[in-house]
Amino acid sequence: MKKPSSPAEGLPPSDQVISKNYSGKLLLRNEIRLEEPQFRALPFTPIPSIKRKTFSHECQRCHNQKKSLFASIPCSSCQKTHLYCRKCIEMGRIMECEPLYECSGESFHWPRHEAPCSWDGTLTEVQQQAADRIVHAVKNNERELLVWAVCGAGKTEMLFQGISEALKDGKRICIATPRADVVRELKPRIQQAFAKVSVQALYGGSKDKDGTAQVILATTHQLLRFKHAFDLLIIDEIDAFPFHKDTSLPFAANRAKKDIHTTIYLTATPRQHHRLQIAFNKLPHIFVPIRYHGHPLPVPSTKMCYSLKKPLTKYMPPRSFMNWIKQRKNQSRQILIFVPTIKMAEKMKENLQKILIADNMIKDPKEIDFVHAEDPKREEKVQQFRAKLLRVLLTTTILERGVTFPSVDVGVLDSGDKVFDEAALVQIAGRAGRSSDDPTGEVVFFHDGRTDAMVQAIQSIKKMNRRGGFIE
């Protein structure tokens, strides 16, 4: 048993500390770091961890109801064979014989901050409009607000005033995003902007583990440990996989907020159901159509490649793709290439490397590399590309969002593949022209037959540009 995390070693932690550490959470016994007598003296309410329903079961932490994700285990401690949840097992196993605990004592009063925001940048006019709208929502405890901002609009900065407003009222805030990369990138920016406020980042393998700060940055999975905890919940990239596919995540987000709360959704590419809600005026929203540097989004062009699959099965780049690389208008830009599979990224890199060296496009074989989700050196490689140590980077859809490179041209190989849905393609196109020094960039989809996703992605980018006041 680990020692209790009390401020004064040996002394029982004060009620304040207990309620700060444990109120608003839903935890397993081994996640509560208190000795048994102390634990029993405190108002922890046990909740059965797996609910048996007529035809199914339900994990009370992750809301899993899928049959194949429950299994039986002959438990050596209770000597019975009972269920456990396989879905949220990475966060500590939920066993039927062990309840979840909720601290039912008084909830913690978070400090009110007079002037919490130490960010001194300025917002553009459109950004300011959105920021004002967010502040308004926070002040009036509006339940929901969707912020639809194009890629590169500067979403994080637009949030600062709203967060300040919440901190002035002593509210607790969570910014949840589907990707650990984004949490990692966000942490220093938020901590810098709110220097005097406690900020913690939670993701699988993060240094902060206990989630006891007033401002929490978390992957959506980490929300599963919270219950009625947040006054202001900001969900970044609401459209991103896995949030829109995994029902447990919206469930967790819903449970993590208090009864009176504000939820703000951020997205550049809202999914169908949100668009419908907007169209029927069911969901308040604000649209930010212009990038922070005031230039329109680069509109992708499509390039038909006859017999595209033939070179691709040999992991060779198609000829029209090589032509494009050589004929790009601005040769000084780096090249970001999206491919549908990890294997493709890996094999294509070797072939492309040879060709580019033979053609004298790059001098050092180290100037080209690839990344994918399971790459242990992912962060390092992205950093190298950002520092311009790499000229060419092959990637799977993992880099479609949340990352900024100042000056790149983007190519998508086999953009008809099903991994490239409309949202993914819009996000990918949004990687180009991010900085004000080089606000344009080429985006080319290489395909062997245009798909609906490609057509819709281009249309929706054009539409966003029109709404931003740009005339084609």
Residues binding other proteins (CB under 8 A): 66, 68-69, 71-77, 84, 86, 89-90, 93, 95
SS3 readout for 248-289:
HHHHHHHHHEEEEEEEEEEECCCCHHHHHHHHCCCCCEEEEC
Q: From the CB of residue 9, how many other CB atoms can be counted at a distance below 10 Å?
A: 7
Q: What's the closest the beta carbon of residue 201 comes to other proteins, in angstroms?
A: 23
Q: Reduced to 3 states, what is the DSSP secondary structure of residue 50?
A: strand
CB 398 within 8 A of CB 426: no
Q: To the nearest 5 percent, what fractions of the chain are helix, strand and coil? A: 35, 20, 45
- Closest to other proteins by CB, 81 vs 104, is 81
Compute the C-alpha angle 403/215/379, nearest 5°.
Answer: 25
CB of 74 to other proteins, least distance (A): 6
Most distant CA pair in the chain, distance = 75
Identify residue 395 by its one-letter amino acid code. Answer: T
CB 154 within 8 A of CB 232: no
Q: Which C-beta is closer to other proteins: that of 86 or that of 255?
A: 86
**Cβ-contact 1, 35 below 8 angstroms:** yes
CB of 30 to other proteins, least distance (A): 9
Structure tokens at 359: 């053609």
Residue 372 C-beta: closest distance to other proteins, Å: 14
User: Smaller CB distance to other proteins: residue 90 or 114?
Assistant: 90
Rounded (5°) CA angle 424-427-428: 85
Between 89 and 389, whose beta carbon lies closer to other proteins?
Answer: 89
Of 185 and 246, the one with the shorter C-beta distance to other proteins is 246
Angle between helices 378-386 and 180-193 (to 10 degrees): 60
At its nearest, how many Å lie between other proteins and the CB of residue 63? 16
Nearest partner of 401 among 155, 121, 130, 128, judged by Cα: 155
132 within 8 A of 206, measured Cβ to Cβ: no
Closer to other proteins at the Cβ: 31 or 169? 31
β-pair partners for 368: 392
CB of 206 to other proteins, least distance (A): 18
CA atoms within 13 A on the CB side of 421: 8
Shortest spacing between CB 75 and other proteins, in angstroms: 5
> Minimal distance in Å, beta carbon 31 to other proteins?
14
The residue among 93 and 228 lying less far from other proteins, judged by its C-beta, is: 93
**C-beta closer to other proteins: residue 39 or 470:** 39
